[in-house]
Structure 1
């Protein structure tokens, strides 16, 4: 057994002009949650427990787009989604359309552990949350003034906007050139920079797990569901690897991105990093995204085809890295 490994992300697609202070805040948060996961793994925590623990912490901090600090819908409300998957037996749980559940990833875990289903959404998910006694808060808890102001700008521009730190003029930040605005499903949108959060872990027993959580797109239509809660798209874990994705949800869904990493390892015999590189290059078409992954043998990997990805990773042999850029 090669030992444990962990990776976290705070989203792919970063404005290259992101102020140094914000970059430092992001790195501090990633380092803090990474160390939280490392401590749990050193204490023999299981992969599934560690991914839930880390993503809960990310949901509770308003810096990234999940839980508190989630992007606002066209109605100025929050609709959150999350999923979790245990590579042992490929058990999974997912939730969408949450408006009052403080930690969506933990409700996803309860769907996996305490319900006969894999996926619950909207009023049904909220009802299940009440039955399970999870912590509930008013929708206002999730809303930040930054996102209120950005929604106003998005409505003025009649556009979906991914992130309040991204300027709405000039398209060079998403790598597509000023002449060709970025598109989603063929429709023009503003600068690409979603900030989903996620965590993947292989524990000292070789068990893999993954969890992903997000508020989705700013100014998204009510009822829009992205890749994060979709098993095989935004999240996947099996007996050989675990993957969490971030980026343009519609492209990740079309490419079944997370499952593809495991599939090319299984059927093409690729190693983890080669599998990640192949999937980023061959399965996104024109979409922009990134992902983090671990293998059962203790490897850790990441890849992205956009300007940057907020990420951190560590292994049992002492390797640790926190970064944003390529």
Structure 2
């Protein structure tokens, strides 16, 4: 047994031709957040604190689809959502429809700790944020030029876009999964197990480009995009509707619990059972095993363990550019 953590920055059809100026800032942020989380676990911080800490940093990075980088609804607004869960206690908190809260993940934790509820959304969640004195910004703070352009392209093509999805060359993708080549933002998440064996997960997203106002995805749905129990912690990314249909995060835990499968086998079976190109996840087990698996072309991801293994990657195999390599911490 030992501490471990894994984090992701979205999954999808990430082309190997992704230019360095779009690839490197994301990888650099993953490395920095991995260092931050590993240092916190080495210092004895609880898993829930670490998952929240890492996701806050990812929310503050405009290159990912969460917090500052959240994509826009069809109305040109931001509707952020997040969820946290603690494995040993099954305590959880979730929020949706946020337009002013700087760190949705921290508000989700406050819902868990300060209310008798699990899930708050839209005006009620915003009112709770003001009551709790969390940091907020004018909605314009979250609306970036890149995401204005993504929305323009999506509207022009009458598309609703998921993370990192592009049509295949010479082949038009289904309308619900099409995206322009420069749509390169991703949902974020972190899972951790601390030195005491406590498990926690946190996930945050801005949702889909050009989504209907009021649409809620998998991220805040406990058991779909986010789940933890005494056996494992899971954070998923991809097409929310499919992740909800396949109860992805809970099914990983259920296969471990009811079929006695190891984490890697459980995660691989769940991801393989979802439609190809729709799901990725990161997970850790109570004994410090780490799993990062996807049925998409790639997934921005990173992990580290107390045993000394560390990895930052995008695709499933190492290549000359080193996008899937072991790195020292």
Aligned to 2:179: 190
For the residue of structure 2 that corresponds to 1:15, the secondary structure is coil
How big is each residue's C-alpha offset from its partner over 1:245-302, in whole Å with a ceiling of 9 and x where there is no partner? 00010000000000000000111111011111111112x1356110000000010011
Count, aligned residues: 313
Question: Is structure 2 residue 78 aligned with structure 1 residue 107?
Answer: no
Q: For residue 180 of structure 1, report the CA deviation from its aligned partner.
A: 5.8
Q: Distance in 1 between matches of 2:36 and 2:99?
A: 27
- List 4+ stretches of structure 1 deviating above 3 A: 188-194
Residue among 215, 222, 231 paired with 2:213: 222
Aligned to 1:6: 5
Residue among 228, 237, 240 paired with 1:246: 237
Q: For residue 19 of structure 1, report the CA deviation from its aligned partner.
A: 0.6
Q: For residue 190 of structure 1, report the CA deviation from its aligned partner.
A: 3.4
Aligned to 1:236: 227
Q: Distance in 1 between matches of 2:69 and 2:312?
A: 22
Aligned to 1:146: 146
Q: Distance in 2 between matches of 1:180 and 1:23?
A: 25
Flag the 1:146–1:215 CA change in 2: closer, same or farther, 3 A. same
Question: Is structure 2 residue 28 aligned with structure 1 residue 31?
Answer: no
Paired residues of 1:247 and 1:288 also in contact (CA < 8 A): yes
Flag the 1:246–1:132 CA change in 2: closer, same or farther, 3 A. same
Flag the 1:311–1:99 CA change in 2: closer, same or farther, 3 A. same
Unaligned stretches of 5+ in structure 2?
Answer: 317-329
How big is each residue's C-alpha offset from its partner over 1:224-244, in whole Å with a ceiling of 9 and x where there is no partner? 000000000000000010000
TM-score, with structure 2 as normaliser: 0.92
How big is each residue's C-alpha offset from its partner over 1:12-49, in whole Å with a ceiling of 9 and x where there is no partner? 01233211232221111000001110110011000000
Aligned to 2:52: 52
How big is each residue's C-alpha offset from its partner over 1:104-152, in whole Å with a ceiling of 9 and x where there is no partner? 0000000000000000000000011111110110011111111111111
How big is each residue's C-alpha offset from its partner over 1:41-63, in whole Å with a ceiling of 9 and x where there is no partner? 01100000000000001001101
Aligned to 1:85: 85
Paired residues of 1:159 and 1:189 also in contact (CA < 8 A): yes
RMSD (Å), alpha carbons: 1.6
Q: Distance in 2 between matches of 1:183 and 1:279?
A: 25
Q: Distance in 2 between matches of 1:312 and 1:166?
A: 20
Please list, as runs of the form range in 1=range in 2, the aligned pairs for 1:221-300 lying within 5 A after superposition: 221-282=212-273, 284-286=274-276, 288-300=278-290
